[in-house]
Structure 1
Amino acid sequence: MSRSQIKDANATPPVKGILRHVKWEHLVAGVSGGAASTLLLHPLDLVKIRFQVNEGAATVGHVDRPEYRGIIHAFRSIQKNSGFSGLYQGVKPNVLGSASSWGLYFMFYNTIKTFMQDGDTKVDLGAGKHTLAASGAGLFTLVLTNPIWVVKTRLCLQYEATSTSFKSEKYYSGMADALFKIYKYEGVRGWYKGFLPGMFGISHGAIQFVCYEEMKTKYNNFQERPIDYRLNSAEYISFAALSKILAATITYPYQVVRSRLQDQHRNYNGIGDVIQKIYRFEGMRGFFKGMMVYLFHVTPNICIVFLVWEQVISYNKQS
């Protein structure tokens, strides 16, 4: 047997090779950061979704949509009609979805990235490979979590004054009931409504992570330090906020399209139908509905998530 054949025979299989780079602390960090940020900021997410699906008509089908004149008015209206707990409508699937999404995303992303670096964190992958790692992590995460996001959207759209008038299959008493009814009346396809625009959302995560990683790398290079040098909290927060704002500004319209496809009060004939109707009746502004409240929500959200993630990594490196 030749030397090359011996080397090939002893080579680690690709699957086992990548599995040895799995680090569960990234899952824990993402779950912790995602859960904490969502519990704090859910009311903003609730209002964002209601703005996204607002087509300008007070009545959609058999449901009267509440009219909001702005963010503050939305908070006051929801609290007036449903009390403080109304601001946390749909919080359970949101916490579960956010925690599991961030946990899985960080774990998948770090595993793919470390596999590409062959375990050497000082290797600079560059924008191309960072994009590949982020895209792969986003796809795996989306496949596993899309049903949770459908449930979260629908629970957030159970309007206070009209919830009792919904048809039985459209009213959900909670997360488990929503998962069951969606499957019963719509099948597995119901769990994956909004999946295709969610695929476009993978580009959001890719842009965000590439910008975040490249900013850290360039900053450490400028400071003449190794690229895996641990930064302070203010630096992590700054890079996280800047990368998120940039990604959100570029890719936001997919979120409006996804929310409308997941809305239980409207029926569209696919993505093309949603895009056509938004543009026809609401113009380009329709694709950016709720963006301001989204930025208010997502900027502190991402700072909390990334700070927790980086601190867990730093703790692990020290221990």
Structure 2
Amino acid sequence: MSNRTVRFRGVDVRIEVIELLSLIRKHGSLSKAAKLLNIPYSTAFRMIKETEATLSEALIEGVRGGSRGGYSRLTRLGEELLLTFNEGGLEGGLTVASSHDELLSYILDDHAQVTWVGSMNGLSMLLVNKAQVAGIHLSSIYGSNLKLLSMLGVLDDVALVRGYVRVIGIGYSGGLGSLSLRDIAERIRRGELTMVKRNPGSGTRLLSELWLRRMGVLNPRSLNVVAWTHDDVAKAILRGEADYGFITQYHAEKWGLNFIKVIQEDFDIVVRRDSINEAEGLLKELRRLRGLNVKGYVINSDVGEIIA
């Protein structure tokens, strides 16, 4: 094994740990990651635990149950470590820190290093040059994504690329029966339903908090663990850990949840201006979406165009 290390948060992290995290992210299994690196599971486990002890924070976490029978995923720190190591970009690829979205995931496929951190977190990472591209959906909070970037005064540094519109709302367990928006709001106010929240800094978290405040709910009953993707929201509901969560229509139908529409929002792409050339492939793939009909999305003819 190599003795090479990278510097992260003031400590030396072995290259093998980075490689393990990358494979865990892809396959959802520490044992499979160890096997692919041709090292014993015990060695892989020890390296991860030693690094976590040095950083005083977990890099991976286990997720119980579900159709996959349990799996491992990176924590926020694990995602940050992996992205920081790859901040110069993969070979021929981009570094993307984004709000979770199915269409963007489909477009990027295996051609980019992606971390789903949420709109605000992704934009922050972009501005400090830890990512080249961010996907954001903050139009329902600020009026438009362009208005937010203008308000922040960052348009000299980043370009806004037109994305698409998606439907977002409340996904809930079929065991609750058929509910209206008023029904579910009243049951939330009475503290009868448990919510799975998205991670802080995500556009969906901001939207859910805004909607709940408007419904007169300041402290909803919720899980202690947050969900980093729309898939994680759905899985928590299907496992019976929560009754509802804010989710895209696409993901609610993908996982067979009941769904109530709350709003349509713009999901746009932000690119560092010094990375426009590297992002041309992404813009081309976005333009290929024109004319595509995907349930839960509205894809207009200007998708993939730089608008500011």
Quick check: which one's helix share is greater?
A: 1
Alignment TM-score, normalising by the size of structure 1 = 0.22
Please say which structure displays the higher CA radius of gyration.
1
The structure with higher relative contact order (CA 8 Å, sep 6+) is 1
Alignment TM-score, normalising by the size of structure 2 = 0.23
